[in-house]
């Protein structure tokens, strides 16, 4: 049974596991969606300010989102989101990096008057193996209320 709006508490935190990205995955994603030289060409990336190949920030968000869905949203009566705030790419993700994902509920609100839904604001953070934040953002989820079932 999924967790509903009423089941979520401010400050609850969940460590969601993580993901590792390979050089081939970085290049494949970037060739399709973000073909900047420091994402697709190891030689050009080496000559860039990054001193080597890095993952697209959008790939970092997508992989972190996948971890969030598998580790948190799959067990929540989430009905989508109104958007995200404060998306930040803090450090580059490099081939072989393992990124762990954590989500923390910031607040729950009654919402905009829809009696079947509540608003949940939560922070998502991805950290590399050295404990450095590589990506963060704030989610604005819509979560079904228990009495709506």
What are the pLDDT digits (tens) for 104-127? 999 999 877 788 999 999 999 999
Whether 65 shows a pLDDT value over 90: the answer reads: yes
Instruction: Quote the CA–CA distance of 40 and 35 in Å, as a whole number.
Output: 6
Instruction: Quote the CA–CA distance of 75 and 134 in Å, as a whole number.
Output: 25
Which sequence spans correspond to the domains of the chain?
5-148
Residue where the block lists tokens 């905009």: 112
How is domain 5-148 classified at the architecture level of CATH?
Roll (3.10)
Instruction: Quote the CA–CA distance of 107 and 122 in Å, as a whole number.
Output: 7
The arithmetic mean of pLDDT across residues 11-40, rounded, is 97
Largest CA distance in the chain: 58
Helical H segments across the chain, by residue range: 23-33, 37-40, 42-46, 57-71
What's the predicted TM-score (pTM) here? Answer: 0.91
């Amino acid at each position: 049974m999924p967790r509903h709006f009423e089941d979520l508490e401010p400050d609850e935190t969940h460590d969601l596991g993580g993901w590792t990205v390979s050089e081939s995955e970085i290049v494949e994603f970037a060739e399709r969606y973000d073909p900047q030289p420091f994402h697709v060409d190891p030689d050009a990336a080496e000559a860039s300010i990054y001193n080597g190949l890095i993952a697209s920030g959008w790939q970092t968000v997508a992989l972190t989102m996948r971890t969030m869905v598998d580790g948190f949203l799959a067990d929540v009566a989430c009905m989508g989101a109104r958007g995200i705030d404060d998306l930040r790419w803090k450090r580059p993700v490099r081939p072989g990096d393992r990124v762990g994902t954590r989500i923390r509920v910031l607040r729950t609100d009654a919402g905009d008057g829809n009696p079947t839904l509540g608003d949940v604001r939560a922070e998502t953070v991805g950290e590399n193996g050295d404990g450095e934040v590589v990506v963060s953002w704030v989610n604005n989820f819509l979560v079904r209320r228990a009495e709506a079932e």
